[in-house]
Amino acid sequence: MYGADPKRALTTQVGHCAGLFHMKVEPHLVHIVSEGTSQVMSLDAFAAAFGIDPAEAQERHAERLRPAVEAEPPPWGWDHPGDIKRAKAWLGVESNWSDTSDGGVSVFKAACYLRDLGISPELAEELISDAVPVWPGGWPQDHIARKVAHAIATQRMCRAAAARKGSGNTRNRSSWNG
């Protein structure tokens, strides 16, 4: 993959291929900047080369995720007892937890599934925290909260994109149905 991040070769990760649109924030066309030998840079060197203030970038990222947890409830409301029961059952099946390259499991996949069931972001964090089978040492304390926020943000972006296209299909195409 031209010296790119090896995680991008995993089926559990989203690749950003040249000629396709990156949809995480504002859609933009992905292109190859250069080909050549890979060079490892420290975060500070990378930030300096591109004029990025890491603290400011982190704050902008956190600010962007804050509204994401203020998700619209499903028509039947958040946290229906039957949905909670299904969520706990799904989280309790070890094979539903996809392995990740850092030795952990896909919390994002679990968060998307719970979101699609109608589990509120707050309860999703709690249920996933109680059920996650592996907690790698490299995960920050807010790992689950961030993944739940990303799941909600992904749903919003998919719905907004569908509305822009006028398709009327607002179902989140990134979700897993367990």
DSSP 118-168: T--HHHHHHHHHHH-S---TTS-TTHHHHHHHHHHHHHHHHHHHHHHHT--
pLDDT, the chain, mean: 75
pLDDT at residue 175, rounded to an integer: 41
Percent of the chain clearing pLDDT 70 (strictly above): 62
pLDDT, mean of residues 146-151: 87
Residues 6+ apart with CB under 8 A from 61: none
Residue entry with tokens 């799904």: 90
Highest mean pLDDT among 1-5, 37-41, 54-58: 54-58
Question: How many Cβ atoms are within 10 Å of 152's Cβ, its own excluded?
Answer: 23
- Look at residue 127 in the predicted model and tell me its pLDDT: 96
Residue with structure tokens 């099946």?
93
pTM over 0.75: no
